[in-house]
Amino acid sequence: MSTDPTDLRPDSLRSIFDRGAEGASEALSRWLGRPVRLLVSAIDHSDLSVAGDLIGPADDLVAACAMGLSGRLDGMLLLVFEDRSGLAIADFLLARPIGSTDQWGELERSAAMETANIVGCAYLNALADAIPGGQRDGLVPTPPEFRHEFAGSLLEFALMGQATEQDEVLLVRTEFVAGPELPSLRWTLLFVPGPSTATTLRALRAESP
């Protein structure tokens, strides 16, 4: 069986990322001990000049955990937390009253990175399984790295690989939905393809019915 991502059929593009979201939903629900759903909200194809606002106002401060990708898909996976929501989950994981933390200290960053690691690896494993000829060892993530950043700066950096080849950029946004027993999950999981994967996905998207 072929292992070339260009063998993906157009109508399977969205469903592949849905599979990634499903895999991540299961892993995150186990990690938090509560049901959580991840839903692919958009496959954005935008002009570079407006990309800084894709996850909200560009000068908003957000927390983000980044994982680099190599292998069959190049690019970056970013788990982005609106500040209060990210800190609330850190409180939840650390068994503290929700809202008791207002700074990203070492413990909170560690909780965020562990969450990103669990979500990211499950997402990528599900993606690898959904791609024809999928091989898990063909998608290699790096350990997550934490930053507290301007949303616009974060996206600008993540999209730099695509910007070297195109004026338009592509990324896949996944949102989180949790039950009432969890704090509001104002998080976004961003799959930011590198140049070669973006070219493949862009071509597939153009062929979509």
Partner 1 sequence: MPNASDREIRTDPGTEWISVAIGRWAIASAPTPLRTLLGSCVGVAFHDREGRLGALTHVVLPSSRGIEVDHPGKYADTAIPAVLAEIERRAGPRVRSRLTAKLAGGARMFQVATDPSGTLDIGRRNQEAIEAILSELRIPVLARDLGGNAGRRLTLDTVSGIVAIKIPGGAEYCL
| Chain positions contacting partner 1, by CB under 8 A | 48-52, 58-59, 61, 66-70, 74, 76, 142-145, 147-150, 152-158, 160-161, 163-164, 167, 194-196
Nearer to partner 1, 142 or 208 (CB): 142
Q: Rounded distance, CA 55 to CA 64, Å? A: 12
Residue 143 is given by DSSP the state P
DSSP bridge partners of 176:
38
Cα–Cα distance list, 64 to 5, 79, 170 (Å): 28, 5, 19
Nearer to partner 1, 45 or 147 (CB): 147
To the nearest 10 degrees (0 to 180), the angle between helices 83-93 and 13-32 is: 50
CB of 160 to partner 1, least distance (A): 5
Nearer to partner 1, 12 or 150 (CB): 150
Contact in structure between 51 and 58 (CB atoms under 8 Å): no
Nearer to partner 1, 169 or 185 (CB): 169
CB of 68 to partner 1, least distance (A): 4
Q: Rounded distance, CA 201 to CA 46, Å? A: 14
CB of 45 to partner 1, least distance (A): 16
User: Using CA of residue 35, residue 41, residue 44, residue 48, what is the dihedral sign?
Assistant: negative
CB of 149 to partner 1, least distance (A): 5
